[in-house]
Structure 1
């Protein structure tokens, strides 16, 4: 499995991101004859989502360490003091001064105690891991490397000056840059910030997402019956979006009738979420209300259809102004097609809105021939071995059986791939470290 070029990181300035978005839109919306825009190429659609998120004005807040997990640093994390802030014993043992043998001093030095008395030449005192080393200490000798005999201490092996002492400032000096702005706050970052003396952090908050589920045919409980089917997307979407770094604020349901369309328009117009995710209704059927609702709301379509299977009728729209607007990602109603929309539009948009870097792109060798679409990219569930990506069955647009068993999705170019060919791999969030990647 081979890494390739990293995803383009969100632009550092809103202006450059907006220019990149304009260029992407020009390509997305280009048509051979000036007519209806054709579906965006799959890579171009992903780039458009990234540029849209990167061009939105960043929000920041200061939060306690416990609330910063999963956010992105809005400011550099600088050391507030030397680490460690004093010379520290790295082991339980003896602090000694000068050559041995050493006279044993009464008492001992424990972590958290006040500054100990300096050692005289030829003197030793017991010391605990993490304790402040007495002034004039030559070295710390581990307990298992020495022995007491009467009131004297003898070393069982040679003693090197400075051994098992963590000197002040070994990890950093006050003012050193520990992490740049834009770093994801992981559990390890929380630990580093605490060690450096921080009680709160300035971060870019996670984007808020509201899920809007469309369709009269959807059941929320029980078995499918009488032309009704279970809603497979609601149980999947909220945890999926949380795993990629979003904060899901709620899920609402809408019918397919005129009242449902009116309620959807009200939701699109009034929701305070950064991103709305709709399920179904993105095609041109008699009860597919997403396009008319977006037109009525004055939204700008950034992506209207993508040349990918499954998931062709997905879309991305901006509601409101360019710097402060909100976004709507329209997912197809078929479950695997919706997964395609998540990976193509929703995840890149959310990562860019949060200020997170794009995931590194990488490839794997596919085992077995993979059929392709004549014109469009295909996303196919695969299991990853040490050497291969193995395509799975049950990869139709309405199926979740394949992706439920998968480690990732392979990007299959038009016309398919031959066994042994390198294919780009899209990690699934539960196999790639979740929201901390």
Structure 2
């Protein structure tokens, strides 16, 4: 059997980087910036007030309480300023530019709030309550490094330095195909021996959560010709094909039958769940085939496909965060395989509870899990109280 790391390397090598395009900042959430972003301006771009109050010369109020004339109002956004004359003050709002001649701002709470004249009841030191130009960002600073994930704060920073568009890698277009004559679309009645199709919904959602695009193809019965026909007119627009089911050793393994000899290789991977895997190129389009049992399919997505999609989009960090935790129950792991068990991590306590058994059909346990407990290939038994590695699913 191939190791988990070997198969991950294969999948990462298949799914190459998508082209770079420039798109509006508002549309970049969750993507990764493809190039360093340097600021063309300083932040703040000018000295501005950190308080609502009065711009002053600090030496003029050393003997407070002092009453001074108010010679001007400076709201935020004012572009024409008059110089502050000695022995006077100007009323100023938070974020407004500090007038020439002023070296401090007295917060309004230390005054009587006067409009024509103001009584100042406390002293301030030079520089007090002034945000200096460039104290956050200097002109030419790299504010976002290539590969950085664009969350709300990163997008806010990009907008603050005047970037209307950002260079990002195009979202990969993924075709998702579930196979099996036993599958029925949700909302229809089930006949004996049939089950509702869920893998397509689950995998498409997981793909979209990475920032990629997913199109769910109508699942096809266990028929090779129908399988090829379902893909034929979509190959030109696809960056990746993902299938679930039809890759084991049974008599009706349509994915295996259709792709064997057509550029896709199938292998057993030393993991539980998710042993039967496949990867390759079908008519020039990368293909990753996943097992059909729902937990096997989703665990395989987390281990192989999610990192590959994030890598294709240029993310500097492609793996989910891991940490150590104390497991509260004993477990057994098959020798020679890396086991992934569903768990509930208590972040505060640093403990993890197993959720459900190891069975690859136990989807309800996966739905309440917030982590995967990873048992290395060489470990057969884990005792309650042992330290284990967990992969967070909620970050």
Q: Same fold (TM over 0.5)?
A: yes
Structure 2 counterpart of 1:343: 302
Structure 2 counterpart of 1:241: 207
Moved over 4 A (4+): 148-152
Cα pair distance change 1:152/1:289, threshold 3 Å: same
Deviations 1:65-87 (A, max 9, x none): 12222222121111011111111
The alignment of Structure 1 onto Structure 2 pairs a total of residues equal to 383
**Correspondence list, 1:49-60, <5 A:** 49-53=11-15, 56-60=16-20
Deviation at 1:245, TM superposition (A): 2.5
Correspondence 1:83 to 2:39: no
SS of 1:293 mapped into structure 2? helix
Correspondence 1:96 to 2:59: no
- Contact 2:30/2:210 (<8 A) preserved: no
Deviation at 1:409, TM superposition (A): 1.0
Cα pair distance change 1:425/1:412, threshold 3 Å: same
TM-score normalised according to structure 1 size: 0.82
Cα pair distance change 1:350/1:361, threshold 3 Å: same
1:310 corresponds to which of 262, 273, 284: 273
2:4 corresponds to which of 42, 50, 62: 42
Correspondence 1:115 to 2:80: yes
Structure 2: tracts of 5 or more residues without a match: none
1:355 corresponds to which of 302, 309, 314: 314
Deviations 1:295-321 (A, max 9, x none): 343x253x722111111112222346x
Please say which of residues 237-246 and 220-229 is displaced more in the overlay. 220-229
Deviations 1:269-328 (A, max 9, x none): x2522121101011132221223322343x253x722111111112222346xxxx6421
Deviation at 1:330, TM superposition (A): 0.9
2:350 corresponds to which of 366, 370, 387: 387
SS of 1:40 mapped into structure 2? coil
Deviation at 1:406, TM superposition (A): 0.7
- Contact 1:42/1:306 (<8 A) preserved: yes
Rounded Cα–Cα distance in structure 2 between residues aligned with 1:150 and 1:239: 59
SS of 1:73 mapped into structure 2? coil
Cα pair distance change 1:210/1:345, threshold 3 Å: same
- Contact 1:395/1:403 (<8 A) preserved: no
- Contact 1:115/1:132 (<8 A) preserved: no
- Contact 2:224/2:254 (<8 A) preserved: no
Deviations 1:94-126 (A, max 9, x none): 111242135222441101122211101121111
- Contact 1:102/1:123 (<8 A) preserved: no
Deviation at 1:223, TM superposition (A): 5.3
SS of 1:411 mapped into structure 2? strand
Deviation at 1:233, TM superposition (A): 1.3
Deviation at 1:170, TM superposition (A): 1.4
Rounded Cα–Cα distance in structure 2 between residues aligned with 1:261 and 1:242: 24
**Correspondence list, 1:184-223, <5 A:** 184-220=149-185, 221-222=187-188
2:330 corresponds to which of 363, 369, 377: 369
- Contact 2:70/2:115 (<8 A) preserved: no
Rounded Cα–Cα distance in structure 1 between residues aligned with 2:373 and 2:233: 35
Structure 1 counterpart of 2:386: 421
TM-score normalised according to structure 2 size: 0.90
**Correspondence list, 1:142-291, <5 A:** 142-147=107-112, 152-220=117-185, 221-222=187-188, 224-264=190-230, 266=232, 270-291=235-256
Deviation at 1:363, TM superposition (A): 2.4
Structure 2 counterpart of 1:24: none
Cα pair distance change 1:389/1:267, threshold 3 Å: farther
